[in-house]
Structure formats: structure tokens, C-alpha cells
Structure 1
Amino acid sequence: MDSGEPRWAGFFLVIEGIDGSGKTTQSTRLCERLNSEGLKALYTSEPSGGPVGLFIKEEVLGRGGFPPEVEALLFAADRFLHQRDVILPALNAGLIVVCDRYFYASLAYQGAQGVDLNWIRELNSFALKPDLALYLDVPPEVALARKKGKRDSLEYLELEGRVRSIYVKLALEGELIQVDGMGSIEEVGRRLYEEVKARIS
């Protein structure tokens, strides 16, 4: 990841979390609130809506069967295009970019499947360092209940448990700021908003 000082007029915010943590709901709500306050904010997500991102959604996440190393390569390719075509232009235009998942998701998800974390970091060495990266922490059991058991429960709990462990480790090492994801949508939203507002005021 590019660890240099930010070189843009805007603010790059990343929100991470396990599947079912509520990060998409909270990311969109936060973006709406910032815009309502007169701050120009853009919501975006990974996988992106670009050609590689759409392939990931349809084939990798939809059908599966890809080795985790190939998944990491595809996510990195999507991230490169997403950064070039969406994120960086918005930051240069002075917008607050709220990105639902980013580089850390590759560390967490492909790392949870046994891919070497240093290799993932090297693969994503082009990635911009966010101004703020938040991790919304929710136990897998709670996240599964929120998803109403849409996936195989045991498989989900095992994978997301490993993913959560990596996210927590990244937070302990200072790469992410951990935010309690338990409580009502309004309560969690307030916690996220306070973290962001303290840094953009």
C-alpha cells in the first residue's frame, strides 16, 4: 500500500467489516448524512461496478470455485481500476469518498483462506492509504442472524470467524480503527459519524 502522505484535496474513508456486519447500510447512511450537512460525499464499494468488479460479483462470488490466490489477483485488478477511475478523481475534486471495503478486505478474506498476507500486500502496493480506515466489529453469530441465515451456517461462521480475527489483528496493529458494531442502526451510525467528524472538522 502506498504509505505516502495524502496528495488530494478530499478525504478518503474506508469502512470494513465481515459479511453481514452492517457496513453497507452504515456506509450509505453516513454518506447521506454528510451530504445533508453540505459536505460533498461519494459512496463507492468493492467489488466495483467496473468490468473486473462485475466479473467478480457474477463468477467469483456468484459461482465460486476459484483458488484464493486468483481471487486476490482479481480483486487487486478491480481495485487498481476502481482507484484510477473513481476514487482518485473524486479525491482530487475535493470529495469525501466513503468506500465500502478496500485493500484490507483482501487481507482478511483471502488471508482467511490461507493466502500469504505479505504477498497480498505486495500485490496491492499501488493502493492508496486512506485518511481513515474503520472496522465495524460484529460477532459472526450476530452477522449471520442479521442475514437471516442466507448462507450455510457452519461454513459462514467458520470463514467469517477467521476473517474477523484478521480484522481485529489489523486494528490492534493500528491499521484500522475498531468501532463497536453492536446496537441499533442509529447507535452504530452515531459511533461511526463521531469518528469521521472528529477528523474532517
Structure 2
Amino acid sequence: MSKQNRGRLIVIEGLDRSGKSTQCQLLVDKLISQHEKAELFKFPDRTTAIGKKIDDYLKESVQLNDQVIHLLFSANRWETIQYIYEQINKGVTCILDRYAFSGIAFSAAKGLDWEWCKSPDRGLPRPDLVIFLNVDPRIAATRGQYGEERYEKIEMQEKVLKNFQRLQKEFREEGLEFITLDASSSLEDVHSQIVDLVSNVNIHETLDVL
């Protein structure tokens, strides 16, 4: 399939309560309003058997070894990826609310080896664009429902932020378009910036892999 016909693979990352999920939905709605084919994917996908186990972990209903939960997060992405490829080949732009970068950033924040954290997702498709919504963890902590899940603690989020900054540097050196936006701006302003970035992203004929 030519690059003119395939869909784009767009990832939006951010700290918890950064407004990421809202922006993902706004982007999908915008693309559809422009008569483009678009679909939203949220990771973790809590509807699958693996996703339900992750959901229990995040809600602190069960305890799991850090390595085990990291591999479950990765498996949750792998079990969806064939469908994402199929959609992209049909010309559907796929918007991902979190991806492998979150897996690395959060697990490494718990002290797991950096390269080990990256390894389970090697081979997943490389996005055409990654947008990181940057917000001060202390500001995010003031937003509604903060603290309901395991990782929603300021100290943890500060470590995750540093890891995202490291990921951006490493992947940009590999040629990935990885952009940071100030998520403390208004909802409308952030949305407008995201739409501009997505509209102007350069795509290759085929997706590379991580």
C-alpha cells in the first residue's frame, strides 16, 4: 500500500491526568468530521482477559511482581497490534492513547532495568508521530479523580516524567518524530496544536518497527 493510502499511526502520551484521553477523543472526532477514517485505541485495553488483570492491578485489587505486570502491559499491546495493522492498511488513522513508551517510563520508574523494559515491545510498529503532553505532576495531582489508581502519586509521576524526557531524546536520535506539548494550556489550544501536528506529519510508505 502506498503511503498516500495507508492510515497514520499516532500516539499520544502523557502523565496521569494530563488530559491525554480527552485529547485523543477530540482528535478522533476532528478527523472523522473531516471525513477521514479514524479509530481510537486505549492502552491498557481493559476489555481483554489480560487487560482485566491489569485493571485489577492498577486498582490495587491484586499484587503482581513488577516484571510480571510489565510483561502483561506489553502482551496487552501485542494482542491488539494485528488489528491495528489491518486498519492502517485500510486507510484508517489509528490514535493510540498510550503505547510502549508508557510501559518503559512507568516500569523504569519502579527501578527496573531500562533496556529490559524496552525489550518486550521491540517489533511493535513504530508510530508516525508521538505527542507527549507535558504537565507539572503537582498540577496533575489537583485534577479530578487523581489518586484512584496505583501510579497516581506525585513522586512516581515525577520519575515517569524524567523517563519520558529520556525516551524522547533516545527515540528522536533514532529518527522518530516525538514532540512535547505544554498540556497546561487551554483544552482548545492543545487540541489545535495536536491537529496541526497530525495534519502535517510525514509518513513513510510502510511502518517501521520499534
TM over 0.5: yes
Matches within 5 A, 1:170-185: 170-173=167-170, 174=172, 175=176, 176-185=178-187
Cα RMSD (Å): 2.1
TM-score (norm 2): 0.84
Aligned amino acid, residue 77 of structure 1:
A
| Number of aligned residue pairs | 192
Name the residue aligned to 2:206: none
Matches within 5 A, 1:1-201: 9-48=6-45, 49-57=47-55, 59-62=56-59, 63-84=61-82, 86-147=83-144, 149-151=146-148, 156-173=153-170, 174=172, 175=176, 176-199=178-201
Per-residue CA shift, 1:110-165, capped at 9, x if unaligned? 1111111211222111211111111110111111111354449xx70000000011
Q: CA deviation at 1:55?
A: 2.1
Q: Distance in 2 between matches of 1:65 and 1:160?
A: 20
Aligned amino acid, residue 163 of structure 1:
V
Q: Distance in 2 between matches of 1:54 and 1:89?
A: 24
TM-score (norm 1): 0.88
Q: Distance in 1 between matches of 2:21 and 2:40?
A: 10
SS of the counterpart of 2:200?
helix
| Unmatched 5+ stretches in structure 1 | 1-5
- Runs of 4+, deviation exceeding 2 Å: 147-152
Aligned amino acid, residue 85 of structure 2:
L
| Unmatched 5+ stretches in structure 2 | 204-210
More helix by share: 1
Percent identity, aligned pairs only?
29
1:44–1:170 CA distance, 2 compared to 1 (3 A): same
